[in-house]
A = this chain, B = another copy of it.
Amino acid sequence: MMTGKNHIGFDLSAEGITTYKTFNPLLNIENEPIYTEASNNEVDRAVALATTAFKEFRTIEASKKAAFLDAIADEILALDDVLVQVYCSETGLPEGRAKGERGRTIGQLRAFAELVREGSWVEAAIDTAQPERTPAPKVDIRKMSIPLGPIVVFGASNFPLAYSTAGGDTAAALAAGCPVIVKSHPMHAGTGELVASAIVNAALKTGMPNGVFSNLNSSGIEVGVQLVKHPGVKGVGFTGSIRGGRALFDLASQREEPIPVFAEMGSVNPVVALPSALRDKGNEWAKQYAGSITLGAGQFCTNPGLIFGIKSTTLDNFIKTLGEEIEQIAPLCMLHPTIHNNYEKGKSILSSQGGVTIAASYEGTVSANYGSQKVITVNGVNFLKNPTLHKEVFGPFSVVVRCADMEELNTIISKLEGQLTGTILGDNTELESSHTLIETLQGRVGRIIFNGVPTGVEVCPSMQHGGPYPASTDSRFGAVGIHSIKRWVRPLSYQNWPDHSLPKELKNSNPLKISRLVNGKSTKDAIQ
């Protein structure tokens, strides 16, 4: 049933000459279906269709757009076990994870459907006319968010559902009224094709314009580069490596018309274990962190890759327990041989840096593509002077830094690159007395956690998934939750516009009953 073709709007197409297969890391063999990379011509057609679709889609009734998003969720569920099987065969991840991620994807789509149906997300602001005002009369002005245009979404290797074809970026862009062109991730092209077919079915069933969605196969960088440089594309969403995200950002910035790129990239998610945490709950945290570091073979962007403590016997005990715990955990299969190879390479590079000692290393025999966990330690001086030790190793790996004192710890935190998250472990009293440290950490992260683990990104309005560069290319936006829609919209003001020609969101009668800022006050009332 897998065609291996591209979805160019509602059509399946395979004009290209480059083909590739996906890989089953568990069985260590290629999967059978053959995927055909999109040709230049197919990329152009997808963008042209999206541009045409945008004319209709940008102002389509909110209820219809919501029905489309809900229908995508329904169609994904209808793929049932087929999707789960293909997902597992392309990732080495277990069924439970596939179903969990599917649930998250469905939840995101429904949350955006609800957002769109409710309608207040357009942030309508109205200032009514004051013709009698002196010295100059005030004209009527009304503002709301409108969609940017066709958006390109790059699928993420580690979230084939929740951050790929119909994932958070796609759901947010469609909710905004932007057609989406997905650059399918080559490692899970089959999962991508299935989900793409669900989106296309949903679009057909709910009467969406042809071109509202396309899915382009690609094994290398060419399709992505062509898309980001295409004048018809107006924004880019990306989840992946710093190198990849930065390359797209650079391409987009160098265009004649620069376009926004929201890239969620690398993060080592520093954790600071204050002395009280190690004294009171050292063993408990060691166990929890052994789980967090190895969760999903460490293939999460919020994986805790860096743990700081102050040199002490309690820290030594923590490291010892963490090591013992982590060595007992059975290694897991990683997403792809490439990812596994990069993991082994990164692990080996960091482990061989000056001053590094091995705290834990799983040394049992593992099958091909399984990522053996490792924890290394280093002192603050060596960490500070060696940027290699700051780098993310994507996998079940973590660095514990023994700092000489709080001052050194503060210095290190202040020099860290931007991060998705930062975590403080400690008691309330120590939290209060660590004011400077916390202020510094806040300045480097998008989310700050107290007594917890950074893995597990709740999808809710208050979640910020993003952070200062290089955690993301624009810390002013996030990739998770309903507010991520803001990446794909811009404000448009109507001045002195007749009520009957205004969009519903801005009409005097407020027919959608949305919340609006009217003459400076938030209200759902009609304007008399």
Residues of A within 8 A of B (CB): 55, 59, 125-127, 136, 138-139, 141-143, 146, 148-149, 249-250, 253-254, 257-258, 260, 418, 428, 431-432, 438-439, 442-443, 445-452, 456, 458, 460-464, 466, 468-470, 473-476, 478, 483, 486-487, 489-498, 500-501, 515, 517, 520, 522
Q: Which residues of B contact A446 (CB under 8 A)?
A: 490-493
Cα of A469 to Cα of B136 in the assembled complex, Å = 31
**Interchain Cβ contacts under 8 Å between A and B, 11 examples:** A59-B439, A125-B483, A138-B458, A139-B458, A143-B463, A253-B258, A257-B469, A446-B491, A449-B496, A476-B489, A515-B522
The answer to whether B260 and A249 have CB atoms under 8 Å apart is no
- Given A127-B461, A432-B500; 7 other pairs, CB 8 A cutoff: A59-B439, A141-B463, A143-B461, A257-B470, A446-B493, A450-B494, A483-B491
Cα of A391 to Cα of B92 in the assembled complex, Å = 56
Copies of this chain, whole number? 2
Cα of A6 to Cα of B487 in the assembled complex, Å = 38
Q: Which residues of B contact A439 (CB under 8 A)?
A: 55, 59
The answer to whether A501 and B432 have CB atoms under 8 Å apart is yes
Of B126, B249, B250, B475, the residue contacting A462 (CB under 8 A) is B126
Q: Which residues of B contact A442 (CB under 8 A)?
A: 146, 492
Measured CB to CB, the nearest residue on chain B to A442 is B492
Q: Which residues of B contact A464 (CB under 8 A)?
A: 143, 491-493
CB distance from A56 to the nearest CB of B (A): 10
Measured CB to CB, the nearest residue on chain B to A435 is B501
The answer to whether B493 and A463 have CB atoms under 8 Å apart is yes
The answer to whether B496 and A450 have CB atoms under 8 Å apart is yes
Q: Which residues of B contact A450 (CB under 8 A)?
A: 494-498, 501
Q: Which residues of B contact A494 (CB under 8 A)?
A: 447-448, 450
Cα of A473 to Cα of B522 in the assembled complex, Å = 30
Q: Which residues of B contact A452 (CB under 8 A)?
A: 139, 495-496
Q: Given A432-B501, A476-B489, A125–B461 Cβ distance below 8 Å?
A: yes
Q: Which residues of B contact A443 (CB under 8 A)?
A: 149
Q: Which residues of B contact A522 (CB under 8 A)?
A: 515, 522
Q: Given A253-B250, A469-B258, A476-B260, A461–B517 Cβ distance below 8 Å?
A: yes
The answer to whether A460 and B515 have CB atoms under 8 Å apart is no
Q: Which residues of B contact A127 (CB under 8 A)?
A: 458, 460-463
The answer to whether B125 and A474 have CB atoms under 8 Å apart is no
CB distance from A67 to the nearest CB of B (A): 21
CB distance from A407 to the nearest CB of B (A): 16
The answer to whether B141 and A460 have CB atoms under 8 Å apart is yes
Q: Which residues of B contact A498 (CB under 8 A)?
A: 428, 431, 450
CB distance from A263 to the nearest CB of B (A): 10
Measured CB to CB, the nearest residue on chain B to A59 is B439
The answer to whether A491 and B469 have CB atoms under 8 Å apart is no
The answer to whether B249 and A448 have CB atoms under 8 Å apart is no
Closest 7 CB pairs of A and B: A253-B253, A464-B493, A447-B493, A475-B490, A125-B462, A449-B495, A143-B462
Measured CB to CB, the nearest residue on chain B to A517 is B461
CB distance from A124 to the nearest CB of B (A): 8
Q: Given A450-B495, A496-B449, A520–B463 Cβ distance below 8 Å?
A: no
CB distance from A295 to the nearest CB of B (A): 12
